[in-house]
Amino acid sequence: MTLARTLLHPAAKPVLFVLGLLPFAWLFYGAATDHLGANPAEYLSRSTGDWTLRFLCLTLAVTPVRVVAALPTLARFRRMLGLFTYFYVFLHFLAWAWFDQGLDPTEMGKDIAKRPFILVGFAAFVLLTPLAATSFNRAVKALGARRWQALHKLVYVIAGLGILHFFWMRAGKNNFAEVFVYAAILAVLLGWRVSEFLRKRRSGGRMPAGATGPRPSR
C-alpha cells in the first residue's frame, strides 16, 4: 500500500486523533498518580506549552510537505492538527490561570500587565481562538475564501509570539537550546511560505504543484 493510499485509509484520522491525545493521557495519568515530580503545576504548565509548539510546527509543516512530496491527501489532517494545537494551548492557559492565579480574573489581569512573557503568551492564545473557531467548512463559506485566508495568516504572528513567549520564559534560567530549535523550524517553514509566494507571483498566480484551494484550518 502506497503512502498516499495509507493516508486515505478510514482509520488514518482516528489513529491521528489517538496519537494527538497521548500526551494529554500521560499528563492526566501522571497527575492522578503523582508522577509529575516535585512541582506538578510547573510540569503541567511547561509540558502543555511544549506540546502546543510541537503541534503548531506539525500544523505549519503540512502544506510544505504536501507540496514538496506531492501528497495532497495530507491536507485532510491539517484541521485536526490545528485543533490539537488549540487544545494544548488552552490547557497551557488553564494551568497558568488555575495553578498560578487561582482562576481569579483580577490576579490574572495583574499578572498579564506585569509580566511581558505572560502578555505575549496570552496574546497568542487570544489570536489563536478565532482560528480554531473558524476551522470548519461552514466558517469558510460564511467568511468567504479571501477573508478566511487572510484571518488564518495570523498563524505566523501567533508562531512568532509563541517563540517570544518561550524565549522570555527561558531567559530567567539562560536556557535557550529548545527555543532555538523551535525558532529554526518555524523560520524554515515561514521561509518556504515566502519563497512559494514569490514564485507564485512570478508565475502569474498559478498554484504550486500539489497545492489546492482553501481548506479548513491551520
Residue 67 located in a structural domain: yes
Q: Other C-beta atoms within 10 Å of 122: how many?
A: 20
User: Is residue 156 a part of any domain in this protein?
Assistant: yes
Domain region containing 135: 3-202
How many structural domains is the chain composed of? 1
Tell whether 189 is covered by a domain.
yes
208 in a structural domain: no
The predicted pLDDT at position 1 comes to: 57
Domain for residue 209, yes or no? no
How do residues 153-204 score in pLDDT, each as one tens digit? 899 999 999 999 999 988 877 888 999 999 999 999 999 988 888 888 887 6
Contact present, 165 and 120 (Cβ < 8 Å): yes
pTM: 0.89
Q: Is 218 within the bounds of a domain?
A: no
- Distance CA(203)–CA(135), nearest Å, equals 29
Residue 159 lies in a domain: yes
Q: Is residue 214 part of a domain?
A: no
Residues 75-116: pLDDT tens digits?
999 999 999 999 999 999 999 999 999 999 999 999 999 999
Pick from 66, 101, 74, 84: nearest CA to 18: 84
pLDDT digits (tens, 9 = 90+) for 17-54: 999 999 999 999 999 999 998 899 999 999 999 999 99
The rounded distance, in Å, linking the Cα atoms of 20 and 6 is: 18
